């Protein structure tokens, strides 16, 4: 018998173990969205309180010489706000920041990191309200955000057969930027297009305002932190549905097209590259035109069906897709 470890079980296998063995929810817990969704939300009177937490770990999620401390602070907040935005009509209010720091971390690094936290929090009219500070070998940033909303929370489940699958902006830049940093390091003389890709990796922006504008029309919603492929998989699985994805409709930036000319390469970054933090959602066909008026940089890349399978097409021809993305362990 081989002994299993967390790498061989994988992130989603571990989540399954947690869900089936350690979580017993019942109806009077007031929970609206729990494990497996972008944030945890519970009902309180007529309000929804949503909480998200995410850890960024040095040399796993970032390398110190690839990103400035202030950018790192801003990014840590943006990625958590993105998870709050993925619940729809929820306003981020409070940030708690946990930091693990090596004792030799300079004061300057610490204050610049905090400047980043503060700048991003100010942008979203959030306030930093606490946290914890501990010693660690590597930098650990553990941000928690509390958001408050009213009405419907938009979850990963809820997609219906016939719904269109929509996304905001373009996909693949963040993964391509990371690819460049791995290949050439931070000190390389990058051109403008390459810097655009790296910036999407280092300076992601949560699509919070877009989420607020469209949330009430959506049937399901998530933010793409692990690539479009995983996002589509999550929405369909949580909704118990299937989908057709038209890869030629996936929006690709001009930066990505200029730096990685091969079409297949662009699509690989879009499907499997992490950290684009764009919205991925489903919407009834009847609302799709209205949505594009509200948020012009929305594209429709596929549609939901009842098949429980996800089929990928390129110019109307079905393509076999093999998962090439990041494994969390």
Closest to a second copy by CB, 106 vs 315, is 106
Q: Which stretch binds a second copy (CB under 8 A): 129-137, 183-191, 238-246, 268-276?
A: 129-137
Any bridge partners for residue 140, and if so which? 57, 100
DSSP character at residue 279: E
Closest to a second copy by CB, 41 vs 167, is 41
Q: Which stretch binds a second copy (CB under 8 A): 44-52, 191-199, 209-217, 245-253?
A: 44-52
20, 27, 106, 315: residue in contact with a second copy (rule CB under 8 A): 106
Closest to a second copy by CB, 94 vs 314, is 94
- 209 phi/psi in degrees, rounded to 5: -65, -40
Contact letters for a second copy, residues 66-95 (x by CB under 8 A): ---------------------------xx-
Closest to a second copy by CB, 178 vs 310, is 178
Closest to 256 measured CA to CA, from 325, 320, 194, 166? 194
Residue 15 interacting with a second copy (CB under 8 A): yes
CB of 106 to a second copy, least distance (A): 5
- 192 phi/psi in degrees, rounded to 5: -60, -40
Residue 315 interacting with a second copy (CB under 8 A): no
Residue 34 interacting with a second copy (CB under 8 A): yes
CB of 155 to a second copy, least distance (A): 13
Distances (CA, A) of 141 to 62, 66, 80, 107: 11, 16, 11, 16
Would you state the structure tokens that stand for residue 118, as one six-digit string?
């503060």
Residue 183 interacting with a second copy (CB under 8 A): no
DSSP character at residue 77: H
* Alpha carbon of residue 87 to chain centroid: 12
Residue 64 interacting with a second copy (CB under 8 A): no
3-state secondary structure of 306: coil
Pairing of strands 127-135, 88-101: parallel
243, 311 in Cβ contact below 8 A? yes
Residue 233 interacting with a second copy (CB under 8 A): no
Any bridge partners for residue 40, and if so which? 51
Cα–Cα distance for residue pair 34/148, rounded to 1 Å: 16
Cα–Cα distance for residue pair 282/219, rounded to 1 Å: 6
Count CB-CB contacts under 10 A for residue 185: 11
277, 79 in Cβ contact below 8 A? yes
Q: Please, what's the largest Cα pairwise distance for the chain? A: 58
Closest to a second copy by CB, 129 vs 161, is 129
Residue 318 interacting with a second copy (CB under 8 A): no
* Footprint on residues 134-163 left by a second copy (CB under 8 A): 134-138, 140, 142, 144, 146
Residue 317 interacting with a second copy (CB under 8 A): no
Closest to a second copy by CB, 32 vs 235, is 32
44, 182, 184, 323: residue in contact with a second copy (rule CB under 8 A): 44
Binding residues for a second copy, rule CB under 8 A, total 74
Residue 7 interacting with a second copy (CB under 8 A): yes
CB of 98 to a second copy, least distance (A): 5
110, 190, 246, 313: residue in contact with a second copy (rule CB under 8 A): 110
- 134 phi/psi in degrees, rounded to 5: -135, 160
Residue 323 interacting with a second copy (CB under 8 A): no
């Amino acid at each position: 018998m081989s002994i299993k470890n967390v790498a061989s079980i994988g992130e989603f296998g571990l989540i399954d173990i947690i869900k089936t063995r350690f979580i017993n929810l019942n109806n009077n817990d007031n929970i609206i969205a729990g494990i497996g969704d972008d944030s945890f939300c519970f009902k309180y009177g007529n309000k929804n309180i949503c909480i998200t937490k995410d850890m960024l770990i040095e040399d796993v999620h970032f390398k110190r010489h690839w990103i400035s401390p202030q950018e790192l602070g801003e990014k840590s907040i943006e990625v958590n706000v993105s998870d709050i935005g993925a619940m729809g009509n929820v306003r981020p209010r409070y940030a708690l920041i946990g930091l693990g720091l090596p004792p030799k971390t300079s004061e300057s690094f610490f204050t610049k990191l905090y400047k980043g936290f503060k700048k991003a929090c100010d942008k979203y009219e959030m306030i930093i309200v606490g946290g914890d500070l501990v010693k660690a070998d590597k930098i650990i940033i553990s941000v928690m955000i509390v958001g408050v909303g009213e009405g419907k929370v938009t979850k990963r489940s809820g997609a219906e057969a016939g719904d269109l699958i929509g996304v905001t902006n373009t996909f693949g830049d963040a993964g391509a930027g990371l690819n460049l940093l791995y290949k050439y390091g931070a000190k390389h003389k990058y051109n403008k297009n390459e810097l655009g890709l790296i910036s999407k990796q280092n300076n992601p922006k949560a699509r919070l305002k877009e989420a607020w504008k469209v949330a009430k029309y959506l049937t399901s919603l998530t933010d793409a932190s692990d690539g479009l492929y995983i996002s589509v998989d999550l929405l369909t699985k949580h909704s118990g549905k299937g989908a057709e994805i038209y890869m030629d409709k996936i929006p690709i930036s001009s930066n990505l097209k200029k730096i990685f000319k091969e079409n297949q390469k662009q699509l690989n970054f879009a499907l499997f590259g992490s950290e684009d933090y764009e919205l991925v959602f489903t919407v009834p066909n009847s609302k799709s035109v209205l949505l594009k008026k509200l948020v012009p940089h929305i594209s429709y890349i596929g549609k939901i069906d009842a098949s429980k399978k996800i089929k990928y097409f390129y110019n109307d021809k079905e393509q076999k897709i093999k998962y090439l993305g990041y494994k969390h362990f």
